[in-house]
Structure 1
Amino acid sequence: MAEIPTIRIGYVPEHYLTPLHLALRSPAISSLPFKLALTSFPSGTGHMITSLRSNEIDLAIGLTEGWVAGLAGKQQASQSSDGGYKVIGHWVDNPLRWAIVTGRNRDEINGVSDLKDKRVGVSRLGSGSHIMSFVLAQQQGWKPDSLTTVPLGPFGPLRDGVSGLDESKGQTANPSAEFFMWEEFTTKPYFHATSEKPNPPLKKIGEIFTPWPSWMIVASTAVFPNPEQDRRLESLFQAFDQGIRDFEADTAQVVKLLGTGELGCNYIEEDATEWLKDVRFTNATRGVDDKIIGGVVDVLKVAGVIDSAMSNDEAIQRVIGIKR
């Protein structure tokens, strides 16, 4: 008997991926002609891009700006038009709210204006946290290269990098960056003082929103060379849509689930409830709106991430695998 194939899905262990976990818990999953395996990427979208290109995962859900920059950005533009993956679907329709944070004891930094010409910590080159540093510079009227990029790894090392504190060892060191940006509610426990934790390690000095829908689905071009006609993807889109419907049908259960830590993340009831007020998952995951990708390309050109000489048509062709 032939072995059942497995489709490997990369994801970031955050609240936005709750419908993915619900989809895999649905009874309908057992009828699929393949298995699904999840791989967690705490370091984010940039790491998933590397893994897609290395054939370590087949599908991934991550940040829109990271996917687009990885396919149409200056580094990839000088190489093959096949960047190893294509954007095939929507996941979240609302913008992502990024907290801009520094170390709590960094008395010299009290607002975004203090960050000009400073060091920004990012998880990896090409990650959402990296791309958003260019967007921040563009919004502030700074030159695209005004910030010095310091790759520090996932969320924990980023916190240590701006605070100068090794949380795991309780040791102090010189800070390696002045600030970093991360999703608001994931970051909040580390900057919001409570009676239990009156001196959190971080200080929030601002926030920035992505000017586009925040999360999208991509597929490996090696595994799915013709995504428009791939029946496996059709089955997956149906499963994803069901996961989103299950999410929206019982948000009280979602709040409880996010408080257990079993999804690889942990959010207190207050934060999960606040997040639910604004989050909007897509009605149908299949396909990508080329106007939305064109808007992302426009902003990333101004930010210096995509070469202004590249036409939007070429960028969209490089990025989209399934059009809506």
Structure 2
Amino acid sequence: MKTIKVGGVPEHFNLPWHLCIEEKLFENAGLNVIWKDFPGGTGAMNRALRSGEIDIAVILTEGFLKDVISSNESKIIQTYIGSPLVWGIHVAAGSKYKSVEELKNTKAAISRKGSGSHLMAYVNAQNHEWDTDDLQFEIVNDLDGAIDALTEDRAQYFMWEHFTTKPLVDKRIFRRLADCPTPWPCFVIAARNESLKNEPARIKKMLEILNKETKRFKEFPKIAEKLAEKYDQRLEDIQQWLEITSWSQEQITEEEVEKVQDKLLELNLISKKQANSEFIHNL
């Protein structure tokens, strides 16, 4: 059996993948799908796609598009989460800052350059009419690094998915000042061009199985309880998250790609746009 190596963040969005593996849905179709967690997020996954460490990434739309423009030879094969991602803007629990406006000219913790936490800091700055040239960053690699950086005041704020960081807010490690939703569908499934050339039928079959699972995911018995237990979340938080989250089984549209490119260009995060079709591969 040929192996398809898939990477994604260790977060509740990706439970359908794990269920497909645990229930042997891929295996029964003759597919050996191996999952790898990337706590470092988008930047780490882009590197893994480039190196061939993984064939497929479940990755943030804006971070992936930016990396393709920087010569990542991969393409979007489908939207995964069609709803926006809600980013919480966090400070240390004991921080003196009480509002997002007070964070102007302070330092943002980011997992790495080109990551979602990096790009969304620009979106947040623009939302508050800050000069994005004045943004300062502390690279922290992952959530644990962010905890250390904010606690030690090496950085003053950190943007990460609202519900993933909710347990840290509940434990009074972080304090959330506000939320900042993405202006586009948040997660796409991207594949290396080489993998698409060599294994198109297997990748297509993998998507068909996954999509069948995500279509009925919210209807599974006790799914909220399972998510809460597996990802250390309060049941009421998971129930709220399920209400605002939608899985997609469709390809991203060129209009959506255009919107993300326009925003990246506006924020000076890319120097030029590419044809929207350059980012998309239809199986």
What range describes the TM-score normalised by the shorter chain of this pair?
A: over 0.9
Q: Which ranges in structure 2 are unaligned for 5 or more consecutive residues? A: none
8 Å CA contact 1:10–1:48 kept in 2: the answer is: yes
Residue number in structure 1 paired with 2:186: 214
State the Cα distance separating 1:34 from its structure 2 match. Answer: 3.0
Residue number in structure 2 paired with 1:13: 10
SS at match of 2:260: helix
Match for residue 297 of structure 1 among 261, 271, 281: 261
Aligned mates of 1:163, 1:318 — CA distance in 2: 42
Q: Structure 2 counterpart of 1:178, which letter?
A: Q
Match for residue 84 of structure 1 among 73, 80, 86: 73
Whether 1:177 aligns to 2:155 is yes
Compare CA radii of gyration and give the structure with the larger one: 1
Percent sequence identity is: 29
State the Cα distance separating 1:130 from its structure 2 match. Answer: 0.7
Residue number in structure 1 paired with 2:169: 191
8 Å CA contact 1:23–1:244 kept in 2: the answer is: no
Whether 1:141 aligns to 2:101 is no
8 Å CA contact 2:167–2:232 kept in 1: the answer is: no
State the Cα distance separating 1:223 from its structure 2 match. Answer: 1.7
Q: Which ranges in structure 1 are unaligned for 5 or more consecutive residues? A: 165-174
Aligned-pair Cα RMSD in Å: 1.8
SS at match of 2:133: coil
8 Å CA contact 2:62–2:260 kept in 1: the answer is: yes
Residue number in structure 2 paired with 1:276: 242
Question: Within 5 Å, which residues of 2 pair with 1:1-324?
Answer: 4-72=1-69, 76=70, 80=71, 83-107=72-96, 109-164=97-152, 175-192=153-170, 197=171, 200-225=172-197, 230-250=200-220, 252-261=221-230, 265-282=231-248, 284-285=249-250, 287-307=251-271, 310-311=272-273, 314-322=274-282
Q: Deviations over 1:107-133 (max 9, x none)?
A: 1x1111111122110011111111101
State the Cα distance separating 1:30 from its structure 2 match. Answer: 2.6
SS at match of 1:180: strand
Q: Deviations over 1:297-322 (max 9, x none)?
A: 11111111122xx24xx252442223
SS at match of 1:276: helix
SS at match of 1:266: coil
Aligned mates of 1:132, 1:143 — CA distance in 2: 14
8 Å CA contact 1:137–1:303 kept in 2: the answer is: no
- Per the normalisation by structure 1, the TM-score is 0.83
State the Cα distance separating 1:239 from its structure 2 match. Answer: 1.1
8 Å CA contact 1:86–1:221 kept in 2: the answer is: yes
State the Cα distance separating 1:143 from its structure 2 match. Answer: 2.0
8 Å CA contact 1:22–1:247 kept in 2: the answer is: no
- Per the normalisation by structure 2, the TM-score is 0.94
Aligned mates of 2:52, 2:60 — CA distance in 1: 20
Aligned mates of 1:161, 1:272 — CA distance in 2: 27
